[in-house]
Structures are given as structure tokens and as C-alpha cells.
Structure 1
Amino acid sequence: MLKFPKEFLWGAAASAPQTEGHSLMNGKSATTWDKWFEISPEKFNDKQGPSDTSNTYELYREDVANMKKIGMNSYRTSISWARLLPDGQHLNNEAVEFYRAYFQEMLDNGIKPIINLFHFDMPWWLMEKGGWENRESVDDFAFYAKTAFEQFGDLITEWTTFNEPMVHIECGYLYKFHYPAVVDMKRAVQVGYHTLMAHVLAVKEFRNSGINGRIGIILNVLPAYGRSDESADLQAKKASDLINTQSFLDPAVLGKIPAGLIELFRQNNLLPVTEVEDTELIKMNTVDFIGINYYQPRRVKAPTNPKVPAEMPEDLYEPYDWPDKKINPYRGWEIYPRALFDIAMMMKDKYRNIPWYVSENGMGVADESRFKDDSGMIKDQYRIDFIKEHLEQLHRGIEAGSNCFGYHMWTFVDCWSWLNGYRNRYGFYSVDLDNNYQRTVKKSGLWFKELTKNNGFELEK
């Protein structure tokens, strides 16, 4: 049996905008998702918008009870900025009551909450001022973080600032999957820089608050895999690592932006506008732990027709379609568990062996009702196999000395996923959208219960 460290965190992850529902109710103001759905509902799968999420706002007690049933000892979700501070300044007391009750329910059932501050849900009042392109957003976020620490610091000991900041940068300013859906690499870099400084100032507010606990950031990072060892492919790999991995991981853990990234941006006329004190702020406000979301590897090759200066990341590196890949056909994502071992070694060897955990790992599958048995349970053996393969590689990394303290699946209950709506399902529990959001455990949930009870699992012979 593969056994994991004592007090290992077994759980799942989700976010406020993808689960809570009540998107424009109970004092919450609009986010970019609410507005984009209002403006362009046709962009959303089956016209499923932010109000069509899994209604955790009303069903959180049932959800926590279901977490306990499958042995979860931890859960990561987020606070909605637009719910807590609808205008950015004034507290929504109903939101405070909701979150305090939700977090206390977890604690009362032996489930450690890990609470994230931002999960792609930019408040509309801030978007109207330019969002992350506006330096004011840095101070606005710091005030929000300070407010959250004041309101919930007696309940929460594990905090994170951002989930996958690279995603709202790329999807909003390069690839049109998030609002404002523009294509402008210069603006993307500025958005990234202000996001980094917002993170830094939130960490500073946490240190100043004096509350007990730790603070980190959730990143979707991994070493890039180059097509070959030829110099052009190695250069592409280096550029990918600098932009996608080191851009946030180095400042968060090591306290500095990589010199190679600064030089790369300088060469391509992409340097952001900064302020004099930023370097010292980054240096002084590093994190206590890192969360790493891992779904698929990043394979790259030298660009076919690069532009100088670069106008898109593909001018610096292109995706490489590895011919031997195993694929999840529903998302078009490669399944490569070995990368979790490589990540574990990267964290050990390059990042001071800082405490870290797998903050997301999961397999989205469409039309899961095909796999129901006579009792109505979804027999998602494919998800169990996926988890086993990844945990085996994670265990290898832990045995080799990497300081990993937990594993969270995306997700606990099937949830709404941005433009994709409910096209693909990820949960340990299914959600029936046509029957009052009824939750039904899947086979993977029962398997996870055995995993958590044993703090490990038997390897196949």
C-alpha cells in the first residue's frame, strides 16, 4: 500500500463564482461574468450563466455533510469579492454571515477550510475602471484582503491570494475566453504585473494583521517539456518556463522577478509600468506555501514563424503535439501523471523545498449519465484510475523528499465552468440541475472515502 504522510490533507477545490449561485442576490454586485452573460449569453454553453451554479449558498450544510461522508479533511474555495464588498468599500453583512456560517460548518465537521481571495471573478465596478490594467486595482485588492482577514481571521488559518493568475491574464487579454476578451500581449503583461503586486500587497496585509495562520498562492505551473534538445527548442522551453512558471513562482517564493523574464520582455518591448518601491515589496512579502494546479503538461517547440518583437506567446514558443500522448477526449487535454513527480522535484530543488500541495487535479468528462448503474450511481472508474496514476507519481516525489502536504481534486460537486457551463463534469458528487440541484455520490466518491480512511491505497499487482 502507498501510504501518505501523517495529517496529509485529502480534499477538493472549488470557487465562489462556480458554486454559490445567487449571483445577483443577497447584496452581491455584478462581476465580469454576470455582465458578460447579460451582454452575450450565446457565448455560454447552453446559455448557462453564473446564476446556474450548484446553489451552495443554500445547500452548504448538505455539501459539508457530504464532504464528511467521503472522508474529506479539507476543502478549498473562495470568497466572492463582489459579495463581501459590493462597491469595493462597504461591507455586506449578509455575506459575512453566510461565509462565517459556511466556514464554521466545515470546522465543526473536521474539515479544514483553505480560503482563496480571487478566482477570476473581477467585480464590475473595478472592471469599469480598467480592472487589472489600472494600478488602483492593487490597492483595491489589498483593502479587500485586509477586510477578509478582519472578518474571518478567527476561523481561517490557511489563505491564498489568487487562483491561477496566469489564466485570467491569458484568457482575458490573449485568447478571448474571459472578459474583456481582447488580444494584446502588452496589456496582458501589465495585467500580470498588477496582479502580482496585488498578491504582494495582500501578503503584506496578512503579515500586518497579526492573525494566526499561513498565506500562499495557487498556481498552474510545471516545467515545460521541449520537443527536442536542439537549441531553438530549448530556447522555446526557456521562454515558456520564464513566462508561465517563473513569472509568479519566483516572486512568490524567492522574492524576485527573474532577470531572464525582465530581459525577455525588454527585448520584445513588453516591459510593464512599475513603481520604485515594488522590488522591495516583492522581496519582503514571500509566501508560506504554494498550491499547484495540475491537469496537463505543457509541451513546446520553437516557433514556426516568430515575430520580433513578439505579439503573442506563440512568437516565443509554440505548443507541441507529442505523438505518443494519452488524451482526455472531452477536454482535448493530455494525461501525463509523470509531471507530478517532476513538479515535486522542481519544488524541492529550485524553490527551497517550500511546503506545497496539489491544489487541483481532475478529469472532466461529458455526458456522465451514460455511466449510471441501475441505482442511479455514476460508475466513473476512469476518474479513479486517473487519481491512482497521479497519486503514484506524487508519492514518488514525497518519498524523494519533496515537501507536499496534500492533494485536492477538482472538484467535490459538479460545478459551473465559465463559458463551458456544465459541459464537462468533474465532481465526486453529481448535480441534477433539473431536480433542485440534487447531489448523488459517484463511484469515485466512495473510492475516495477508502483512500482517506487508509491514508493511501493498494497498488495494482
Structure 2
Amino acid sequence: MPSASFPADFLWGVATAGHQNEGDNVTSDTWFLENVTPTVFQARSGKATNGWELWESDLDLVAGMNLNSYRFSVEWARVEPVEGEFSDEALAHYEALIDGCLARGLAPIVTFNHFTSPHWFASRGAWLDAEAPALFARYCGVIMDRFGDRIRLAVTFNEPDLPEMLTWSGLPDFVADLERATLEAAEREAGVERYRAGNVMLHEDFAGMRAGMTAAHIMGKAAIKERRADLPVGLSLAMCDDVAVPGGEDLVARKRAEVYDYWLSLAADDDFVGVQNYERLHYGPDGLLPAPEGAVVNGMGTAVDPDSLRGAVVYAHDVSGVPVLVSEHGVSTPNDSIRADFIAPSLVGLAQAIVDGVPVLGYCHWTLMDNFEWIFGYGPKLGLHSVDLETFERIAKPSAGVYAQLVREARGL
């Protein structure tokens, strides 16, 4: 790997998310949706990987892979479990996590909203509520007042473009029907007229939710900058590397316009944009092309293509004009040899993007360990470590060692 391509201050990390790892996120919207009937969630998160209790040993795992950064989320539902009431216990926990990162030489990359929000917020209609942006900004201010002086990078939102992306993924109609039934069940259970959430979204709400999250990003960023003007702030986007074969150019252009370009244009006013890339997709005149015969495929059935990262990063920078943070990158597969073989060539492509002039701040592999993957439960495997869901023992996969060695070489350790 051409380590000379990576800047000396390049952030090498892994990414996790609170609800997916911490467990017992009982005052959140996602927890509530998991536990209504019917529900689109294939499993309940429960204790997840028990990261709330095992955070110190998890940080040791991160540091033990020669990394110098760690991306994680602060759970709004824990910090503000009741509207207007902020939990000192939760704030103290996340402050300890921040300080634990710094003690291990890890730069904290903090996501303020990784899909989940408080149950009370969802009961108000989430991002459709007129007061939502101000409520989010107030929460951002509380976080900054407590430990904002120690954050390296701030990510306001994780994948606000995901609902639009999923409309291109070919999910069967029954998924949308079940999502609607889940929200209707939540409304009955909560006794509210409109229960909405960031990762179970109705198509007719897309425009309103987008507008609410846009305003929340702008107001949240302002709250962060008011307290610390020098802190780089951005948002992270789900981005396939969409490639046109002859005749597919119009289709790719339409997908980019529908899914990415709005947010990339918004990011032009930010300090960076996060890119979260998992696949390269090829489009012809009649739509998405299947994976070539004999190709190694991921859990989504698409071909594993390490160069997809370079393509997504280049496109994100071309449109936004701001530096890029690879805030997530990985591969969904139970076959860890695929993951282990995938990392190095992906980083070679990223190095090439840097050589070609794209400013890249860092790379965070998704994810530290197998965890709760939202509506798909515990089925998908994306971790560098496996987890025994009875004992919560973390077991390093070969890919963890591969990544650790690549980072060691890149950092000259």
C-alpha cells in the first residue's frame, strides 16, 4: 500500500453506533419500534453487544489495532430521555468515553444523530415537527457544553439520504407495507397521531423529513460552532459508486440527483463530508446490471469491488468541493477472508484519490464488531470482531489483524 500518499495527520479508525452496540436503549424510538406488533424489525436489539458496559475494553481493542481515531455516536435518547430533562449519568458516561479515547491516543469522531432519536421526539413527529431543528440544536449545545472541547470531528447526521437510496435498492413492496404497519402500531401504542423515525420512513414523508433534517443540520452546526468555532462539522452520506455502462448514463445521473446531490450541495457549506461506501453498482439502459457470473458477492448480492471507495470519494468531492472523511466502509459477509482481502486494495484506491487531489481526512472501517444491523437484526456480519451474544466476548477475526498491519505500515509504526 502506498503509505506515502496518506498525510501524517490522517485519521485511521473504526466506526460504531450507539444503538447498534450499547444495548438497552429503552427510551429511543428504535427500541419502541422493535417492540410493537407488527414490526419490520427481524429482531429486538436487547443488550446489543453490551457496549454500554464494555466500552473500556472496546477502546482497548481499537487502540490495539494501531488506530488513532474512533467514530462513535452519542445517543440523544439517553442524554435527553424526557423532553427538556438531561441525564447527568449519560453525559458523564460519554464524557468518560471521550476521555478514554484521548488517554489511548484516539481522536474522538462524534456522531450526534445516528438514526435513533428519543421516543418523545418520535411521538412529536420527529423531523416533520416544526420545532425539531431547534430541539436538535439544543441537544447539540448540551453535548458541546459538556465535552465539545475534546471532540476532533463532529458529524451531525448519519446517512440522511438513506431513505432515497433504498428506493433504488429493489426492496420488495411488502417491506414498505410493513414499515407503514410498524409506524401505525407505534401510533396506537404511544397514543399519538403521528409517530415518525429516522430509519423507518414513509415515502410521502421524504420531502418533509429531508427539510426537517436540513434545518436541523444547519441549526445544530450553528450551535456547535457557537461554542467552538474551530471544530470541523459535517454530515455523513450513504454513497454507492454508481457506474454507467453505455446507455446507462441518464439513469446514473437521475440516481445521483435523487439520492446524493442535494446533500452534497448542502455539504458545500460544511468543513467536510462523510462518505459511507459499501458497493459499486453498474447501470445499463434498462436498469441495474446483475453481478458478473462467478463474481465474489457481498450480503446484498452485488459484486465486491474494492475500487468502489475511490469512485465514491472522488464523486463526493467533485460535487461538494470540501474535504472527505471516509466515515464508514466495509463489506457485509460472513466470509471474513473476503473482508480481509478487500481492505488493502480499497485503501490503494483511496490513496490514488489522494494522489489525484482529493483531500481525505481519514478512514473509518465499519465496524469494530458484528452488531445489531437495524431491521435485519443480527444476521448481517460486517465486524472486524465477532461477538458471542451470550457472554459478549469479542473475538478478533483475521481481518482485524490485516487492518492493524496495514495501518501500522501506513503510520510507520
- Is 1:91 the counterpart of 2:86? The answer is yes
2:97 aligned residue (95, 98, 102): 102
Deviations 1:260-305 (A, max 9, x none): xxxxxxxxxxxxxxxxxxxxxxxxxx211111000012444567xx
Matched with 1:335 is 304
2:136, 2:289 → 1: CA distance? Answer: 37
- Note the alpha carbon deviations across 1:202-259, whole angstroms, 9 max, x for none: 1111222235421111111355323433xxx433322211111111110121xxxxxx
Aligned with 2:224: secondary structure?
Answer: helix
Q: Aligned-pair distance for 1:105?
A: 0.6
Instruction: State how 1:40-59 maps to structure 2 within 5 Å.
Output: 40=37, 43-45=40-42, 47=43, 49-59=44-54
Task: Give per-residue Cα distances to partners, 1:78-108, cap 9 Å, x unaligned.
Answer: 0111100112311101101110111111110
Question: Which residue does the alignment assign to 1:282?
Answer: none
**Which residues of 2 match residues 134-149 of structure 1 at below 5 A?**
134-149=129-144
Counterpart contact for 1:2–1:456, Cα < 8 Å: no
Counterpart position of 2:217: 199
- Note if 1:14 corresponds to 2:29: no
Question: Contact 1:227 / 1:320 at 8 angstroms: preserved in 2?
Answer: no
Bigger shift: residues 447-456 or 388-397: 447-456
Query: Tell me, what secondary structure is at the counterpart of 1:113?
Result: strand
Corresponding residue for residue 189 of structure 2: none
User: Is the Cα contact below 8 Å between 1:56 and 1:63 reproduced in 2?
Assistant: yes
1:386-405 equivalences under 5 Å are: 386-405=342-361
The residue aligned with 1:164 is 159
**Pairwise mapping of residues 241-390 of structure 1 onto structure 2 (< 5 A)?**
241-253=256-268, 286-300=269-283, 318-321=287-290, 323=292, 326-352=295-321, 354-366=322-334, 380-390=336-346
Q: Pick one of 147, 150, 163 that aligns with 2:145.
A: 150
1:185 Cα shift? 3.5
Compared CA separation, residues 154 and 329, structure 1 to 2 (3 A): closer
Cα 1:234–1:180 change in 2 (3 A) is farther
Structure 1 residues 208, 42: closer, same or farther in 2, change over 3 A? Answer: closer
The structure having more radius of gyration, on CA atoms, is: 1
Which residue of the partner structure matches residue 122 of structure 1? 117
Unaligned runs of 5+ in 1: 254-285, 304-317, 369-379
Q: Which runs of 5+ in 2 are unaligned?
A: 168-172, 185-199
AA aligned opposite 1:249: L
Relative to structure 1, is the Cα distance of residues 290 and 238 closer, same or farther in structure 2, using a 3 angstrom cutoff? same
Q: Which residue of 2 aligns with 1:34?
A: 31
Write the distance in 1 (CA, Å) between the matches of 2:166 and 2:117: 13
CA deviation string 1:94-144 (max 9, x = no partner): 101110111111110001110001111132212112122222212211111
2:254 maps to 1:239: yes
**Alignment partners' CA distance in 2, 1:190 and 1:320:** 32
Distance 2:111 2:342 in 1: 26
Deviates more, 1:211-220 or 1:338-347: 338-347
Aligned to 2:134, the other structure's residue is in SS state helix
Other structure's SS at 2:53 match:
helix
C-alpha separation in 2, matches of 1:419 and 1:142: 28
State the alpha-carbon separation in 2 of the partners of residues 216 and 40 from structure 1: 36
Secondary structure class of the residue paired with 2:339: helix
Shift of 1:50: 2.3
Contact 2:317 2:324 in 1 (8 A): no
> How far has the Cα of 1:149 moved from its partner?
1.4
Q: For residue 188 of structure 1, what is the aligned residue in structure 2?
A: 206
SS at match of 1:39: coil
Cα separation, 2, equivalents of 1:404 and 1:183: 32
Give per-residue Cα distances to partners, 1:342-399, cap 9 Å, x unaligned.
Answer: 23333444433x2212111112223x6xxxxxxxxxxx33211111221121111111
Structure 1 position 20, deviation (Å): 0.7
Name the CA shift for 1:183/1:127 in 2 (closer, same or farther; >3 Å).
closer
Q: Do the aligned partners of 1:166 and 1:220 also contact (CA within 8 Å) in 2?
A: yes
Query: SS of the residue aligned with 2:70?
Result: strand
Q: 1:195 to 1:301 in 2, by over 3 A?
A: farther
Q: Is the Cα–Cα contact under 8 Å of residues 223 and 245 in structure 1 kept in the other structure?
A: no
Question: How far apart, CA to CA, are the structure 2 residues paired with 1:348 and 1:211?
Answer: 23
Change (3 A) 1:211 1:90: farther
* SS of residue paired to 1:23: coil
Inter-CA distance 42–424: structure 2 relative to 1 (3 Å threshold):
same
Shift of 1:12: 0.7
User: What's 1:269 paired with?
Assistant: none
Question: Matched residue of 2:274: which SS?
Answer: strand
TM value normalised by structure 2: 0.86
Tell me the CA shift for residue 456 of structure 1. 7.0
Distance in 1 (CA, whole Å) between partners of 2:82 and 2:74 is 15
In 1, the alpha carbon distance for the partners of 2:40 and 2:205 equals 23
Q: Secondary structure at the match of 2:46?
A: helix
Q: Give how far 1:43 is off.
A: 4.2
What's the Cα RMSD here?
A: 2.6
